[in-house]
Chain A
Amino acid sequence: MAGFEYVRPTTLEGAVAELSMRGDTAVAVAGATDLWVNIRSGKMKPEAVVSLRGIAGLDVLTPERADGGGLTIGAMTPHGKVEDSAWTAAHFPALQQGCAGLGSRQVRNVGTVGGNICNAAPCADSATALMLFDATLVIQGPGGLRELPLGEFFVGPGMTRLLKGELLKEIRVPDPGANTFSRYIKHTRRRGVELAMMSVGVRLTLEDDMTTVKAARISLGVCAPTPTCADRAQDMLVGKPLTREAVEAAALVAAEDSQVRDSWRGKAWYRREMIRVLVPRAVEQSGAYVAAGLAPALDDAGSAASSGASAPGAPTPDDPGASSGATEGGA
């Protein structure tokens, strides 16, 4: 393992300048929980590493309003901060669950949301969860800021639309509106320190009649070369009454459309089958059926209690004590 230069600029513009100047020989580092693994294994051999840790203002989790609304996540925000945010758990449950189920608490304390997105792994948990909420990325380049929808960001495993010298500044999550329910289920072999064999996120926003689906998102991890949304399946639900049959039909389409692959880590047929099984479960656990009068109130974690509908007196973003991760591990 060769040594490298460690650069620690104090402004985002400075970091962009350092990276632009050095071209392909330099790489940005946030929590280093992906980068260091790649350097140690010899997959990456940067001559310089540009740390973003000295830059103020990137480790933020800012809600638009205390009673809901949108959310801005600084690129350097560690997953643990999102995990601990009762506000996020109340308003964007699937996002909190995606962050809380990543790696171990130690990894979540240093690994950042920005790093998860920019690393662009097919199994990226917080990225897959964010796909549910139509997030927009704010990118700083040599020429200034630009915005890009998260859904257009990924190109392939480890490949993104970031240009040379560009850095992710923050992620903006718009207000999904009232009557929103979401859930993220990470399917793993064990419960701790585990990458997803596949994962499923769902987000449903209902009309005020609490029956008609206004917006639907189904996001999938490890079901394609990048985190994806099951476009055809989610569209099937919109404008129609929420029913179990409709969700199951959509799950089937999501499974059929997926680009799951066979590997020694998991079989394609099994991943496909899990889409079919877990999409309905995620909807069930989001609390949407309860709200739509299709099910009695649930009582376990991931129940109506922690669903997306804003509860009065919802905690503020800095409140700790949110529910724990949503890992569906089978020992």
Chain B
Amino acid sequence: MNPPVITEQERAQKELAVVGKGIPKADAGVKVTGQAQYMHDLELPNMLYGKILYSDRASARIVSIDTSEAERIPGVKAVLTAYNTPEIRFGFLKDNMALKKDRVRQYRDEVAAVAATTPELAEAAIKAIVVHYEDLPAVFDPEEAMQEGAPLVHELNPKGEPNKDNRLRLPWKFSAGDVEAGEAASAFIAEGEYETGWVTHCCLGTAGCVAAFDPDDNLTMYSITQIPSLAKADFQEAMKAMGVRGKVRVVLTTLGGGFGSKLDTYAFEYIAMLLAHRTKKPVKILFDREEEFFATSPRQPTRIKIRQGCDAEGRLTFRDISMVLDNGAYTSWGATTPTVMMMPSSSLYQVENVRFRATCVYTNNTYAQAMRGYGTPQVTFAIESNLDELAEKAGIEGYEFRLKNANLPDTVTPQGFKVDSCGHVPCLEAVAERMDWAGYRAAKAARLAGDATGAGGDATLVESDTAGVPPVAQAAWTELPDKVRGIGMACLLHVGGGAKIYKSDGCGTLIKVDDLGYVDVYSGSMDMGQGLDTILRQIVAETLGLGVDRINVVIGDTDVCPWDAGAHASRSTFVAGNSALYAAQQVREQILNSAADILDTPRDGLDLTGGMVVCADDPEKTTKIEKVLRKAHFASAGNTMFMAAYFYEPPTDLLAGDFKGNYSMAYAWGCHGVEVEVDRRTGQIDIVRYIAAHDVGKAINPLLLRGQILGGGLQGIGWALAEEMIFDEGKLLNPNFRDYKMLTALDSVDVEPILVEDPAAAGPYGAKGIGEPGLVPTAPAIANAIYDAVGIRLRKLPMKPEMVLAAIMEAEGR
């Protein structure tokens, strides 16, 4: 179905009443007062508590599992293993199983599960299960895992054919133009290797579910998924594997955070299904903090090699990227992040000749999933750090270099992205202006000149990025102050209008209006705290000329809500927003047409605004919307209620084969600028100032938008400087907030957002997505600032004080 026309002019004519206003989140009250129902709060009559026994080694054969003692514990209602349950395969390549049979491949492998009347009994039962293993060779380094003779993590592929090696057979290759020709035409080339490690989402609400079957084997899955419709399909498939005929309904509780961690279904959910079906009772599995750390799927680690070149004027000539990704032992969305990494690789800055290759490798580590940015933070760290290196080689200041190569509106990128609205240059300029980039640089240059003439200058401002002279060459380290400052910037490109990574990137909306002027909006999308429900309220309220208090958004129930591809790719405001907008426009037409009949006046002169049907031709006829609704409903003839359904499918291309096409309806740009203070004696990094300029199309709700930018920025700063999952041969050493260094309130940086509004033609009221971009360029912006301050190029995350100090000491010859 095509979207109804009219919209543009109508939008332009009216001043917006609720769109563009920073109204508080719809769920603020229930969350603050503790009324919001999280998975932790959910209890059903006769509910049992499920618990999982995980492997205690990284790679082993299961010799035997003795569950007899666990079964004898009173209150234990079921003890399941792969040997007494049907096999449920799941995941992107179906290489994962709900309960593991014969072999474990990682510490988080689910070996057995129990259901008991209390969590304590379930825990006791788990402890009573005895598993005998025989250790098998393991491999933890993806590059070692690629070597010939490395132990195979999977002997067979999911089809049952033997695997030759640990490489996944995934076609992640892209090329455009002629990279060799680009190299030949280059006056300067910079290359580098960058590494990013394991980090995780740190959802404050731990994962969990309640699975409940009715007597006819219909399953209600109370869930915290970010993908209600796709999860329903996954669970329905599992029902088939279980030989169960019923239908699946997915119902969401309030989520305590998502960040991508809930974009795939997990073994624990299938295990809850198995336990519930076996016991005929609802079964709840709720992760503790340790499980949340080790048994949910983190961000994909990468090792990236990059080469970029430019001509004598500083125009990019080519970009060549290859990377190895640690897939872990099973395959989830982490393995598909290269499809999204191709986006900035091919299309951030104007560069014609591009090559991109990614290899995902099985190891005996935990397996990775989606996390805010979906690969783009990792590859942007390489691109934007290396860009500064290239600029320095070319003798061009980094900001100028970026401006020269920046993306422009109404262009088509080498990957085939049709860029219409493009705020790249405005974002760059906004950051440069806010930070007085030129002034900062000039002051440093002046002081550097002072140093060079022997006049002695302020060593805090030793220039490090003009001619490639490291600061230590200009002053002995003992003469430098302990704390030195520097500035850096980095840009981003992300999808801002959905992303066709499934066959459908659509979202459905149903709307009904009652006699009293209250509107229920049933959307397929979901909220994990980002505020989608609030955004939909604003869009529908604006369209129907009602206050937001009249709009009730119903989400998170697959029995009630239409299909949606899930909350990912920063797509919900754009896709679910458009879907709601077009459904609301249909209702609006219905109401106005009825009003024309009822008021006996031409439709063209009517408008919905301020809760009224406004009649421009005859102001006397202006009336409350409710009156029209009731008249239409209770009319003596032709009684009608107003309802609409709309399924919005962005007309984009599913990328396959050569990965060329337009896979989003809009592209989001941004630029972060940061000033750091580096302690040369301790290696500690202090963020003095952090500016985040984002091209958001249109800020539907500036308050929530700010929240997304601040949250993304802080999460990114944590990723850049502090957070890491530390593994010892596959075992997570720091599954807690004591040792996993998520930043705290006291570490918060005052991220200053700048909103650049360059409306997206296809966006709801011009909006683009903003869920992920705030995180994307954080690490390279900081790394570039550290380089500016101390002349140290850090290529590995997180940039911990000991790494920084070791590099400084080496450079300074200490």
Q: How far is the CA of A190 from the CA of B745 in the complex (A)?
A: 10
The interface centre, meaning the residue of A1, A190, A192, A278 with most chain B CB atoms within 10 A of its CB, is A190
The stretch from A26-34, A160-168, A176-184, A260-268 touching chain B is A260-268
Of B223-231, B243-251, B513-521, B799-807, the one touching chain A: B799-807
Report whether B747 and A187 are in contact in the complex, using a CB–CB cutoff of 8 Å. Answer: no
Docked-complex contact B746 and A329, CB < 8 angstroms:
yes
Do A193 and B805 have beta carbons less than 8 Å apart?
no
Is A273 in contact with chain B by the CB < 8 A criterion? yes
Contact with A along B102-125 (1 / 0, CB 8 A): 000000000000000000100000
Interface assignment of A139: CB less than 8 Å from any CB of chain B: no
Measured CB to CB, the nearest residue on chain A to B682 is A277
Beta-carbon contact of A264 and B802 below 8 Å: no
Identify B726's interface contact among A190, A192, A264, CB under 8 A.
A264
- Cα distance, A15 to B648, chains bound together (Å): 71
Residues in chain B near residue A191, CB distance under 8 A: 744, 746-747
Which residues on the A side are within 8 Å of B685 (C-beta)? Answer: 330-331
Stretch in contact with the other chain, from B42-50, B79-87, B468-476, B732-740: B732-740
B747 and A329 form a contact (CB under 8 A): yes
Set of chain A residues within 8 Å of B120, measured between Cβ atoms: 1
CB atoms of A273 and B805 under 8 A apart: yes
**How far is B800's CA from A187's CA once the two chains are assembled, in angstroms?**
13
Cα separation A274 to B734 with both chains bound (whole Å)? 23
Closest chain B residue, CB of each to CB of A197: B801
**Cross-chain contact A330 with B679 (CB below 8 angstroms):** yes
Q: C-beta contact mask, A278-311 vs B, less than 8 Å → 1, else 0?
A: 1000000000000000000000000000000000
Closest to A327 in B: B746
Instruction: List the B side residues contacting A328 at CB < 8 Å.
Output: 682, 684
Contact of B722 among A190, A265, A277 (CB under 8 A): A190
Given A328-B684, A330-B686: A189 and B746 within 8 A (CB)?
no
- Report, as a range, how many residues of chain A touch the other chain: 20 to 34
Instruction: Please state if B747 and A265 are interface contacts (CB–CB under 8 Å).
Output: no
Provide the B713-741 mask, 1 if CB < 8 A to any CB of A, else 0: 00001100110001010000110011101
A1 proximity list for chain B (CB < 8 A): 120
> In the complex, A122→B150 CA distance in Å?
42
Measured between beta carbons, the chain B residues less than 8 angstroms from A273 are 805
- The contact of A331 among B679, B722, B734, B805, by CB within 8 Å, is B722
CA distance A329 to B687 in the complex (A): 12
A36 interface contact, C-beta 8 A: no
A222 at the A/B interface (Cβ < 8 Å)?
Answer: no
Bound-state CA distance A304–B741 (Å) is 33
B26 within 8 A of A: no
Q: In the docked arrangement, what's the CA distance between A174 and B296, Å?
A: 53
Q: Is there an interface contact between B744 and A192, defined as CB atoms closer than 8 Å?
A: yes
Task: Check B745–A189 contact: CB distance below 8 A.
Answer: no
On chain B, which size bracket covers the interface? Answer: 20 to 34
* Neighbour of A190 across the interface among B681, B687, B744, B802, CB < 8 A: B744
Bitwise, A312-331 to B at CB < 8 A (1) or not (0) is 00000000000000001111
Give the one of B734, B743, B746 with max A CB within 10 A: B746
Instruction: Check if B749 is an interface residue, CB within 8 A of chain A.
Output: yes
A-side contacts of B686, CB under 8 Å: 330-331
Closest to A277 in B: B681
Contact of B744 among A193, A270, A277, A330 (CB under 8 A): A193
Which single member of B687, B739, B746, B805 contacts A192 (CB below 8 Å)?
Answer: B746
When chains A and B are docked, how far (Å) is the Cα of A191 from the Cα of B714? 14
| Beta-carbon nearest neighbor of B745 in chain A | A192
Contacts of A330 in B (CB 8 A): 679, 682-686, 721, 801
Please report the C-alpha to C-alpha distance between residue A267 and residue B726 in the assembled complex, in whole angstroms.
Answer: 14
The smallest beta-carbon distance between B578 and chain A, in angstroms, is 38
A331–B717 contact, CB under 8 A? yes
For residue B802, which residue of chain A has the nearest CB?
A: A270
Residues of A within 8 A of B718 (CB): 331
Q: From residue A216, how far is it (CB to closest CB) to chain B in Å?
A: 22
Measured in the bound complex, the distance between the Cα atoms of B803 and A266 in whole Å is 11
Point out which of A192, A195, A266 has the most chain B C-beta atoms below 10 A from its C-beta. Answer: A192
State whether A331 and B682 are in contact (beta carbons under 8 Å apart), knowing that A193-B744, A264-B728 are contacts in the complex.
Answer: no
B741 touches which of A187, A189, A267, A277 (Cβ 8 Å): A189
CA distance A204 to B210 in the complex (A): 62
CA distance A273 to B747 in the complex (A): 24
Contact indicator B801/A265 (Cβ below 8 Å): no
Q: How far is the CB of A188 from chain B (nearest CB, A)?
A: 9
Please list the residues of chain A having a beta carbon within 8 angstroms of any beta carbon in chain B.
1, 104, 187, 189-195, 264-267, 270, 273-274, 277-278, 328-331
Q: Given A190-B747, A277-B682, 8 other A-B contacts at CB below 8 A?
A: A189-B741, A191-B746, A193-B737, A264-B733, A264-B734, A270-B805, A330-B721, A331-B718
Interface pairs (19), CB distance under 8 Å: A1-B120, A104-B744, A189-B722, A189-B741, A190-B722, A190-B744, A192-B744, A266-B802, A270-B801, A277-B681, A278-B682, A329-B746, A330-B679, A330-B682, A330-B683, A330-B686, A330-B801, A331-B717, A331-B718
